[in-house]
Chains A and B, each alone.
Chain A
Amino acid sequence: MQRLKGIVIPLMILLLWLIGSATESINQYIIPPPSRIWQTFLYLSASGVLLDHIAISLYRVFAGFLLTVMFAFPLAVLVGMNQRLAPFIDPVLDFLGHIPPISCIPILILWFGIDEASKLAVIILATFFPVFLNTANGILGCSKQLLEVGDVFGFNTWDKFSRIIMPAALPSIIVGFRLGLGYSWRSLIGAELIAASSGIGYMIIEAEQLSRPDIIIVGILTIGLFGYMIDFCFFKLTNYLLPWNGKRELYGRS
């Protein structure tokens, strides 16, 4: 029932769109009717064009995200576990955190060219902060009371890290990963809109130059749909990795 409620607004928009197109109160050149969007979608899918663009965009998102995690996660653990490093790193991160990744695209193209490297660099810039900050904050926010339990039972630093700090930080780390994946998707499309020869962003900008609003809308809807699907998969993964969250069965707890 909850899921059905979520499709009420999209259905209403679709209905208004259909009515507007049927009564010709919407300019069909700017906003083509849903039927044409559907036909374009079928054509792009059947010809494999859409899938090719999606595949390259997804590859960039996951490769960029993976590289970010490999870099940001250990650094966050290092800073989280050694609070003496924070005064050295915090001002630099604060400064970098205010720079929109898109603004770096021109310099990234100069450095890395128009190929994959510049796109990956944009994704790394966009994803780094949510992954780093949420991981570091999760570690720093670990309850002192729980750490004292480890002290009482004679845990060494590794025991405390692996048995208490990391599990306690896990919800925050997962939130960071989830945000990071969303940011990487958004920044990639931005990068592809500016400088690319493939990918969903490129498909949209090429359609703009060919005056094909139907392809643009198919591209936009595809971006939204895939973003939603990635987020949904992450949500399911969160439930799997954090089984103690959201338990409904209760024993003597009102």
Chain B
Amino acid sequence: MAGVNIEDLSKTYLIHDQEVQALSTINLTIQDGSFVALVGKSGSGKTTLLRLLCGLEQMTKGRISFLSPEKPTATGKERISIVFQEPRLMPWLTVQENMALPLIKEKNRQQVSQTVAHFLDLLGLKKFKDAYPSQISGGMAQRVALGRTLCYDPDVILMDEPLGALDAFTRKNLQTELIDIFLLQKKTIIFVTHDVDEAVFLSQRVVIFDGGKIMEDVPVPLDYPRDPLAKDFFQIREQILRTITGK
């Protein structure tokens, strides 16, 4: 596991010779083993931050370090994984083969089988282990994508609106499963969402983005499992919505 320390992070894209500032001087510290949600309007820089964190984009300025109590300095070998909005499963691999994909370099194949079997069981995918992605539903595919990330055993899990494309019922189920996995695994999770209710339901802290900057950092000091109809839940939700809409 590892925490994340972001210092003066900026990202500028060059689009048709025009500089577009996606992120501007972001400073953020995320504690080891915490669940943080990033919310904000489209284009506010949430996804860009995740892509920078997992190395899919290069930062223009600043510094990112992944720190843990055992390793006070970043080694550069921290495992960061991301669950995208789309499952991005390999169509030619079965469910269990997709989940084993990050472990191709692992020599001990028996260990790989055991790891995959463990997460197939945890995510309720055992029955579908030999199915191909084209044969399973969107919710199941997203669960496989989560399982693939868990098999990788990353220090930090990034999630870019992983439940955004799902129906309300499947989404609710997966939110509950995600909390169970978080409580069990205690991984650092950074979760991007447009849905304020989802952010308050899942995370311990909600960071609000707007125009590539952090507008507010709202703690969510509620115990799991959370009741969206509870007064505390409602108040935090309203506070976040007020910051986002500016009303």
Contact = CB atoms under 8 A, between A and B. Distances in A.
Interface in B42-84: 54-56, 79-82, 84
A145 B145 CA distance: 13
Contact of A253 (B54, B91, B102, B137): B137
A148 B81 CA distance: 11
B182 interface: no
A11 interface: no
Interface string B122-154: 000001100111111101100000000000100
A154 B132 CA distance: 24
Contacts of A242: 92
Contact of B136 (A151, A163, A253): A253
Contacts of A148: 56, 84, 88
Interface stretch (A12-20, A114-122, A212-220, A243-251): A243-251
Given A146-B88, A252-B137, A151 B55 contact: yes
B101 interface: yes
A149 B99 CA distance: 12
B88 A145 contact: yes
B228 to A, nearest CB: 26
A153 B128 contact: no
Contacts of A250: 135
A250 B104 CA distance: 28
Given A149-B90, A153-B101, A251-B128, 13 more contacts: A148-B56, A149-B84, A149-B101, A152-B56, A152-B82, A155-B104, A168-B90, A244-B93, A247-B135, A249-B131, A252-B139, A252-B140, A253-B136
Contact of A152 (B80, B86, B90): B80
Interface size class on chain B is 20 to 34
B136 A146 contact: no
Nearest to A166: B92
Interface string B219-235: 00000000000000000
Interface string A169-204: 010000000000000000000000000000000000
A175 to B, nearest CB: 15
B132 A247 contact: yes
Given A244-B134, A247-B134, A153 B152 contact: yes
A251 B128 CA distance: 8
A90 interface: no
A159 interface: yes
Contacts of B80: 152
